[in-house]
Amino acid sequence: MLWLSSQATGFVSGLAGIVLIIVAVIAIPTAIIGGIIGGVVKRRIS
């Protein structure tokens, strides 16, 4: 039972790490593109 719980903890932490990487890969380019679009829009308005 102890082995199973440790395996589950490792799996959960591994899954969390993968999710974190996916989120970072999606969020970072989105933030950069958003910043560029925001800058262009601000320049057009002013």
DSSP per-residue codes, 1-46: -HHHHHHHHHHHHHHHHHHHHHHHHHHHHHHHHHHHHHHHHHHHH-
Q: pLDDT for 12-32, tens place per residue?
A: 999 999 999 999 999 999 999
Percentage of residues in the chain with pLDDT exceeding 90?
65
CA–CA dist 15, 6 (Å, integer): 14
Residue 4, amino acid: L
How high does pLDDT run on average in the chain?
Answer: 90
Tokens 């199973």, residue? 4
